[in-house]
Structure 1
Amino acid sequence: MSGVDAAVPGPSTVSAPRSGASFPAMRAAKVPRSVMAGPYGHPFHPVAVTIPIGAWSSSLVFDLLGLAADDPRAFATGSRWLIAIGLGGAAGASVLGLLDLSRIPPGTPARRTALAHLCLNVTAMLLFSASLVLRVLELGRVPGVAFVLSVVASAGLSVSGWLGGKLAYRWGVRVADENTQREGFETA
């Protein structure tokens, strides 16, 4: 074993390396359900999630500024808009995520992780929706309960993002298969 191989943790240091070709279920999870999900090796779901994540993260910044400001109206308005934009973006990302989920075989750790990811995201959407309703009822300021709902939703979203990263980066859901990846590391 070379020095590089010894330093890299993973299955190759424990047992003989395996390729995606050995696992038809893994290979199937890499293929898009439809054109709408994005082409092979380029899923649209990870790109789409940047809209709600960015909007909701920014809304928290606006909330903090609004809570500290003498006149919070502009920050409260900005936060409401950002939450609404995040909800719209989350609806679109959800459709793409469901397309990717449909390719993961039932009974697998990847499927269970994807379902936990889904539940956390739906919960975040519900909490942000409730937060938005409370904000619409009090337009001139950032309601404390609405802010707390947004913080809790963001915490859940952080865990969900970690699970989504595990699906893509550890288990390669909708990521190009190993033979395709190898092309990027072969020397001419």
Structure 2
Amino acid sequence: MMDPSHERAKQPVSAALAGPYGHPFHPILVTVPIGAWAGSLVFDIASHLVHDPAFLAQGAMWLIALGVLGALAAGVVGFLDLFAIPPGTRAFRVGLVHMTLNLLVTVAYAANFLWRHAGHAPGAGVGGGMLTLNAVSFVVLGVSGYLGGKLAYRYGVRVADEATQAEGFVSTHRPPGPTD
């Protein structure tokens, strides 16, 4: 028998904002900042390997900005998903750490964008400090992503219940009968 508080964590606080049952928006939206920030790190590293790094440095800066905007959107619906988890549970504590790390990472990337936008010399590659901040932020993002995966795959937050999931494993193949 499933604990009713566990069942509560599977339902959206607001289906219109957080996504309907079994289809949360947060996992879809997090692909924007993760992809943008991964691309910015690749561009930062590549800016040290080419003769004319300006286009890579500028591209990394705008990928960071895109990631911050995506993180804000993902954070809003993630916050709604956090409200679906009963307070005082292990899942809620993991959710709080996940949210805190994501907020720190988003602030770090926003600061990195402002640093680049305010003081970056055109035509220059990405500075070592900016590259380091990008890399450290990305590692922390990875830790937070691990915790987000734990929320979904281990604790089943916003994942359809087992009875709903079982529908996908009912055979549609009909065994041969006497009339076949």
Same-fold call, TM cutoff 0.5: yes
Report 1:143-158 matches (<5 A). 143-158=127-142
Could you tell which deviates more after superposition, 65-74 or 36-45?
65-74
Could you tell me how far apart the structure 1 residues matched to 2:96 and 2:26 are? 15
Is structure 2 residue 123 aligned with structure 1 residue 142?
no
* Per-residue deviation, 1:29: 0.6
Residue identity over aligned pairs, in percent, reads 51
- Distance in 1 (alpha carbons) for counterparts of 2:55 and 2:5: 51
Q: CA RMSD in A?
A: 1.0
Match of 1:8?
A: none
- Compute the TM-score of the two structures, normalised by the length of structure 2: 0.90
1:26 aligns with 2:6: yes
The amino acid that maps onto 2:53 is P
Pairing partner for 2:148 from 164, 179, 182: 164
Q: Secondary structure at the match of 2:48?
A: helix
Work out whether residues 76 and 139 of structure 1, in 8 Å CA contact, stay in contact via their aligned partners in 2.
no
1:186 CA drift (Å): 2.3
Partners in 2 of 1:130 and 1:69 — Cα distance?
26
1:138 alignment partner AA? H
> Match of 1:105?
86
Q: Which region of structure 1 is more displaced relative to structure 2, 68-77 or 133-142? A: 133-142
- Among candidates 74, 82, 95, match of residue 93 of structure 1: 74
- Write the letter of the residue equivalent to 2:120: E
- Equivalent runs, 1:170-185 vs 2, <5 Å: 170-185=154-169
**1:92 aligns to what SS in structure 2?**
helix
Q: Aligned equivalents of 2:5 and 2:168: distance in 1?
A: 24
* Unaligned stretches of 5+ residues in structure 1: 1-18
Amino acid at match of 1:28: R
* TM-score, normalised by the number of residues in structure 1: 0.87
Equivalenced residues, count: 168
Do structure 1's residue 52 and structure 2's residue 33 form an aligned pair?
yes
Most deviating of 22-31 and 40-49: 22-31
Helix, strand or coil at the partner of 1:156? helix
- Partner letter of residue 123 of structure 1? L
